[in-house]
């Protein structure tokens, strides 16, 4: 699916590939370590635990990636989500857009590529940078206890 963005550089949304996971792991871990309370945890403790958590989440999740049409390996943003069909809920574990591409509709494109009107209840599980904007704009719920459950399973 291709969306036009104001810079006239269209981007394409595709499923995440194993080759994308190094970028996802690095950007997710680095951003998570900047969160108010996590930045007090030493790197030697935080990053191995975060890597195990992210790998656990990625093994159970759907990953959508946005990239510029002319460069499939240059990720502009991504969304990591996990459907819970029993509860008719979609957990959005992490969303990231590179600062250069923020405010161009990439996060919205990633979300609407998977979710249509009337689809599952959306629940954000982690306090990523885009959380306040997505929560305000789309009325998405925030429930970090889902991540606590996943953290307990590693």
Domain with 75 in it = 2-152
Q: What is the CATH number of the domain that holds 28?
A: 3.40.630.30
pLDDT tens profile 24-57: 999 999 998 888 677 788 889 999 999 999 999 9
What does each C-alpha distance from 20 to 10, 32, 52, 98 come to in angstroms?
20, 18, 17, 14
Q: What's this model's pTM, rounded to 2 decimal places?
A: 0.84
Place of tokens 């049409």: 69
Q: How many structural domains comprise the chain? A: 1
DSSP string covering 80-117, please? Answer: EEEEETTTTEEEEEEEEE-GGGTTSSHHHHHHHHH--T
**Rounded to an integer, what distance in angstroms lies between the CA atom of residue 96 and that of residue 120?**
21
What digits encode the pLDDT tens for the residues 125-152?
Answer: 888 887 888 777 777 888 888 887 777 6
User: Counting every residue, how long is the chain?
Assistant: 154
pLDDT tens digit sequence for 69-79 = 888 888 999 99
pLDDT reported for residue 65 = 95
């Amino acid at each position: 699916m291709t969306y036009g963005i104001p810079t006239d550089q269209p981007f394409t949304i595709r499923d995440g590939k194993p080759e994308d996971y190094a970028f996802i792991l690095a950007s997710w871990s680095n951003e998570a370590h900047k969160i108010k309370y996590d930045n007090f945890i030493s790197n030697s403790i935080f990053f191995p635990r975060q890597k195990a958590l992210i790998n656990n989440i990625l093994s159970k999740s759907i990953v959508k990636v946005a990239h510029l049409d002319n460069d499939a390996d240059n990720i502009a943003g991504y969304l990591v989500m996990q459907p819970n069909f029993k509860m008719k809920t979609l957990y959005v574990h992490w969303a990231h857009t590179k600062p250069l591409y923020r405010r161009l509709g990439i996060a919205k494109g990633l979300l609407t590529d998977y979710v249509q009107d009337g689809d599952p209840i959306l629940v954000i599980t982690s306090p990523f940078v885009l959380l306040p904007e997505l929560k305000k704009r789309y009325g998405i719920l925030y429930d970090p206890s889902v991540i606590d459950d996943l953290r307990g399973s590693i």
